[in-house]
């Protein structure tokens, strides 16, 4: 059981970039809005793209698909790279921070982290399993306190930590030739098939569209990417 409940992080590139830079991510990499998932809009996203993060409403359709997907994978199996960094979510409303950490953690070969909180956390978490990583995150005061600080910023009214939250962040990354969905509330990472560094954005966009198709009456979806700064 999580020890506390956080105020959720806003899906706001300004807030997210402040958060990442406080944790040691250089300003040459930043979060940018994706204004649409069709090819003619994806061309405006700066390259390279290191990760794609989706914020979506948690609905009955999501929960039903999650159960079916988990059962299918447990039955048929899937390949997961040993180089993939994935952790479970124990802290309520920490999904935005976990999504950002997932994006950075799977790109440390390209992101030169400054010495500090996140670099130390990833070094300690790397040899652990996903559950133990989640526990380590829960007890990482540096990351949790940075989340608390940045959750108070943004353009919308700041909710209470106890207010009901029905949105969830997940991140898509490329690792060893495959597209992975990293959702700390799922039983394991989801392998969505082949991708490359160059096609990550387009392939992740296709999966994001599948999320939207499962809830056709919903409009509360937001997609951002971790990219090279303009």
Residues with catalytic roles: 95, 168
Q: CB neighbours of 217 closer than 8 A, spacing ≥ 6?
A: none
Alpha-carbon Rg for the chain, nearest whole angstrom, is 16
3-state DSSP helix/strand/coil percent for the chain, to nearest 5?
35, 20, 45
> What are the tokens at 58?
């948690």
How do beta strands 49-57 and 29-33 pair? unpaired
Whole-angstrom CA distances from 188 to 12, 45, 183 are 27, 29, 8
Give CA–CA dist 191/204, Å, rounded: 11
Q: Extract the tokens encoding 75.
A: 């039955």
- Are the C-beta atoms of residues 172 and 52 closer than 8 Å to each other? yes
- Outline where DSSP puts E strands in the chain: 29-33, 49-57, 167-175, 178-182, 190-194, 222-228
Structural contact between residues 121 and 140, judged by C-beta atoms closer than 8 angstroms: yes
């Amino acid at each position: 059981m999580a020890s506390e409940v956080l105020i959720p992080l806003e899906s706001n590139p300004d807030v997210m970039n402040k958060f990442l830079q406080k944790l040691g991510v250089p300003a040459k990499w930043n979060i940018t809005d994706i204004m649409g998932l069709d090819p003619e809009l994806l061309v405006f996203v700066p390259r390279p793209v290191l990760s794609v993060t989706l914020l979506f409403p948690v609905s009955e359709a999501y929960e039903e698909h999650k159960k079916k997907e988990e059962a299918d994978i447990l039955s048929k199996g899937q390949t997961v790279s040993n180089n993939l960094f994935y952790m479970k979510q124990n802290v309520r409303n920490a999904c935005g921070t976990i999504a950002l950490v997932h994006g950075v953690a799977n790109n440390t070969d390209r992101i030169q982290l400054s010495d500090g909180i996140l670099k130390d956390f990833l070094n300690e978490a790397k040899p652990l399993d996903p559950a133990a990583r989640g526990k380590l995150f829960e007890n990482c005061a540096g990351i949790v306190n940075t989340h608390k600080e940045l959750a108070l910023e943004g353009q919308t009214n700041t909710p209470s930590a106890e207010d009901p939250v029905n949105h969830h962040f997940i991140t898509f990354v490329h690792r060893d030739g495959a597209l992975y969905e990293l959702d700390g509330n799922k039983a394991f990472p989801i392998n969505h098939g082949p991708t490359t560094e160059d096609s990550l954005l387009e392939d992740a966009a296709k999966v994001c569209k599948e999320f939207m198709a499962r809830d056709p009456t919903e409009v509360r979806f937001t997609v951002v990417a971790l990219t090279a700064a303009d």
